[in-house]
Chain A
């Protein structure tokens, strides 16, 4: 069965960087884009960007353009999301999700989420 398993919770100080991983299983890793979505506590969902695991190509939301980097390692079916220069308002759950474009365009499987807490 399709699964996306994310790395564990992180606590970081302002100005630091964080890496969140998302390991895929149960399907051909390079066939589906992976999207990253974040959710601040008690807030809604915000798209951060996507990565094409086949080519490594990326697209980032304008808001995150200068401080997010998404990469992948096809040997272990894992994508990574690096966020730099963290601020307190980056405290949020970060989700990876698989994009499916069969008969539409939707996020059909999600990771369990990774809580990143930014605090001095």
Chain B
């Protein structure tokens, strides 16, 4: 199985900050990398697919990049509603696997 390693596991930031979350795959996955946001008590929500394509309706302050094994999710100008847990997920091969999540908290 492909292992997905996210870092950091948690971080604190303030409204208006820019933050970056990284995700590394244990083998190359081309651009088959997706990012999800999950708020407490809610289902995950797709933010970005194919490493860099913004899902419809997702604000442009979310940006994804990377290819191969190393990927990043950048949130520019954090808004109060962005404080949540973020997961990366590879869909290059089965079984699909997720990172362990990055919890973004308000400083």
Contact = CB atoms under 8 A, between A and B. Distances in A.
Category for how many chain A residues contact B: 20 to 34
Interface stretch (B10-18, B65-73, B76-84, B98-106): B98-106
Nearest to B45: A110
Interface string A87-120: 0000000010100100111111111110000000
Given A104-B32, A105-B32, A106-B34, A47 B49 contact: no
Q: Determine chain B's interface SS by DSSP, over half rule.
A: loop
Task: Determine the interface band of chain B, counting residues with CB < 8 A from chain A.
Answer: 20 to 34
A97 B89 CA distance: 14
B33 to A, nearest CB: 9
B49 A103 contact: yes
B99 A44 contact: yes
Contact of A44 (B32, B50, B87, B91): B87
Nearest to A103: B50
Contacts of A112: 42-43
Interface of A: 35, 37, 44-47, 59, 61-62, 95, 97, 100, 103-113
B53 interface: yes
B88 to A, nearest CB: 10
B59 interface: no
Given A44-B98, A44-B101, A45-B89, A110 B43 contact: yes
Label chain A's interface by main secondary structure: strand
A27 to B, nearest CB: 14
Given A95-B43, A105-B32, A111-B43, A47 B96 contact: yes
Interface of B: 31-32, 34, 36, 42-46, 49-50, 53, 55, 87, 89, 91, 94-101
Contacts of A44: 87, 98-101
Name, among A44, A62, A110, the residue most crowded by chain B CB atoms within 10 Å (CB to CB): A44
Contact of B95 (A61, A105, A106, A113): A61
A42 B21 CA distance: 20
A47 B97 contact: yes
B28 to A, nearest CB: 15
Nearest to A113: B43
